[in-house]
Amino acid sequence: MSAGPDRLHAIVPAGGAGTRLWPLSRRARPKFLLDLTGSGRSLLQGTVDRLAPVSDSITVVTGRVHASAVADQLGTDARIVPEPGPKDSMAAIGLAAAIIARDHGSDAVVGSFAADHLIGDRPAFERAVATAVAAARRDDVTLVTIGLTPTHPATGFGYIAVGAPLDPGEGTTSDRPAGPAAGVDDPPEAPPAARPVAHRADGFQEKPDAETATAYLAGGRHLWNAGMFVARAGALLDALRTEHPDLHDGLQAIATAWGSAEEGAILAATWPHLTAIAIDHALAEPLAARGRVAVVPADLRWTDIGDADSLATVLESGADAGPDAIPDAGAGTHAGAGGPEDGPAGAGVVAEPHTVVVGDGSPGAFVHAPGRVVALHGVPGVVVVDTGDALLVTTREMAQGVGRVVTQLRDAGLGDLT
Cβ at position 349, least distance to a second copy in Å: 11
The verdict on 395 binding a second copy (CB under 8 A) reads: yes
Cβ at position 17, least distance to a second copy in Å: 15
Is 229 in contact with 279 (CB distance < 8 Å)? yes
First to last CA, the chain: 39
- Out of 36, 119, 230, 382, the residue judged to bind a second copy by CB under 8 A: 382
What is the distance between the alpha carbons of residues 246 and 232, in angstroms, rounded to a whole number?
A: 20
* CA-derived radius of gyration, the chain: 22
The residue type of 13 is P
Helix (H, G, I), strand (E, B) or coil at 157: coil
What kind and span of H or E run contains 391?
A: strand 391-395
The verdict on 398 binding a second copy (CB under 8 A) reads: yes
Q: CB under 8 Å to 266, separation ≥6 — which residues?
A: 253, 254, 257
Q: Which of residues 262-301 bind a second copy (CB under 8 A)?
A: none
Q: For a second copy, which stretch binds (CB under 8 A), given 11-19, 64-72, 194-202, 392-400?
A: 392-400
- CB closer to a second copy, 58 vs 405: 405
The verdict on 370 binding a second copy (CB under 8 A) reads: no
| Contact string (CB under 8 A) for a second copy, positions 295-334, x = contact | ----------------------------------------
Q: For a second copy, which stretch binds (CB under 8 A), given 45-53, 103-111, 203-211, 381-389?
A: 381-389
- CB closer to a second copy, 218 vs 414: 414
| Contact string (CB under 8 A) for a second copy, positions 74-113, x = contact | ----------------------------------------
- CB closer to a second copy, 114 vs 376: 376
- Out of 245, 370, 378, 415, the residue judged to bind a second copy by CB under 8 A: 378
Alpha carbon 133 to its chain's center: 18
What sign does the dihedral 120-122-126-131 (CA atoms) show? negative
The residue type of 81 is V
Q: For a second copy, which stretch binds (CB under 8 A), given 130-138, 151-159, 225-233, 388-396?
A: 388-396
Determine whether 228 is exposed, middle or buried from the number of CB atoms within 10 Å of its CB (0-12, 13-18, 19+). buried
Q: Which letter does DSSP use for residue 41 in this model?
A: S
Q: CB under 8 Å to 122, separation ≥6 — which residues?
A: 50, 185, 322, 323, 324
What is the distance between the alpha carbons of residues 418 and 406, in angstroms, rounded to a whole number?
A: 6
- Out of 126, 239, 356, 368, the residue judged to bind a second copy by CB under 8 A: 356
CB count, 10 Å around CB of 174? 13
- CB closer to a second copy, 92 vs 351: 351
The residue type of 324 is D
What is the distance between the alpha carbons of residues 167 and 199, in angstroms, rounded to a whole number?
A: 9
- Out of 13, 15, 18, 23, the residue judged to bind a second copy by CB under 8 A: 23
Q: Binding-site residue total for a second copy (CB under 8 A)?
A: 45
Where on the chain is the footprint of a second copy (CB under 8 A)?
22-23, 340-344, 356, 358-361, 369, 372-379, 382, 384, 386, 389-395, 397-399, 401-402, 404-405, 408-409, 411-414, 417
